[in-house]
Amino acid sequence: MKEIVLITGASGAIAKVLSKKIEKDYTIRFLTRKKKAENEFEWDLNNNTIDEQAFENVSHIIHLAGANISEKRWTEERKKELIDSRVNSAKLILNTLKNKNIKLKSFISASGINFYGIKTTDKIFAENDPAGNDFLSKVVQVWEKAADEFTEQNVAERVVKVRTAVVLSKNDGALAKMITPIKFGIGSPIGSGKQYMPWIHVDDICAIYEFALKNPEIRGSYNASAPQHTTNENLTRIAAKILKKPLFMPNVPAFVLKLMFGELADILLQGSRASSEKIIKAGFDFKFPVLEGALEDLLKKIIIKRLKYNAKASCKY
């Protein structure tokens, strides 16, 4: 009989790809705000309610829920939402499991590569390096602390915290936003362009979750960032090359981004590198360790999709 895996953050790109990747080996359930399928169960963080049937015979929870960091300006209200969506959701799950006297084999939580801070430095951060002191670092620290409660309160045999870099996906997220101006011939690096941008292909981040799920010796924090480091400028130029688009516009000035996004602009203008050595030494192999290969895989799918759409549209006339 298959073990049951409960996944939160059901609407996100990672949950969608990951669930398809592991559905042959596990029975998948989702926690979602609005039930649409038989294997979905509703929860409401605002009212602190959850469908407890989601937890019947569950062995593993993959906790991906959390408000989008870059979706809105960081007002004080939004900052609170970013923290609460991560911490309070974990607390609701923890308390429900305690009330039902359920012990998990594993609680695998999303986390952020910004644990170390977002300031651009020459250092390559490893998991044993101290946390930073900016807002995003503080978000990640309380996020991970909420995850650690599952072992500290004896609700899970192990906890894994996946410190995730910028996930590159063909359908949504950061890459879609980055390539939009490039496709229109007005793309350019932002700020100095020299800020590092930790990244990972969506297939690799999902494979890391599968690896953590299937290997009981995996526990603690792991950087989920591709081995090859890059800057914003380098990523922009490689994307333009693959899309066969020119880059002639000047860099987007930092002050423009700060006017548009406020404090949120810092995550676009700053960035450091993170080491993937720990997860590799544990036995994980990256399918896309090199940026150009990752972008070719993702962007060519976008190009092919666009060509098919254009061909289909032309057939109507």
Report yes or no on 253 lying in a domain.
no
| Count of domains observed in the chain | 1
- Asked if 108 contacts 62 with a C-beta cutoff of 8 angstroms, the reply is yes
Does the structure show a pLDDT above 90 at 1?
A: no
Hey, what are 82's tokens?
Answer: 């970013």
**% of the chain with per-residue pLDDT over 70:** 94
Residues 112-163 have pLDDT tens digits of 999 999 999 999 999 999 999 999 999 999 999 999 999 999 999 999 999 9
Domain containing residue 64: CATH number: 3.40.50.720
Report yes or no on 139 lying in a domain.
yes
Domain residue limits at 210: 3-167+201-225+275-280
Report yes or no on 98 lying in a domain.
yes
Report yes or no on 10 lying in a domain.
yes
Give CA–CA dist 276/205, Å, rounded.
Answer: 12
Report yes or no on 301 lying in a domain.
no
Does the structure show a pLDDT above 70 at 305?
A: no
Report yes or no on 250 lying in a domain.
no
Report yes or no on 189 lying in a domain.
no
Residues 283-301 have pLDDT tens digits of 999 999 999 999 999 998 6
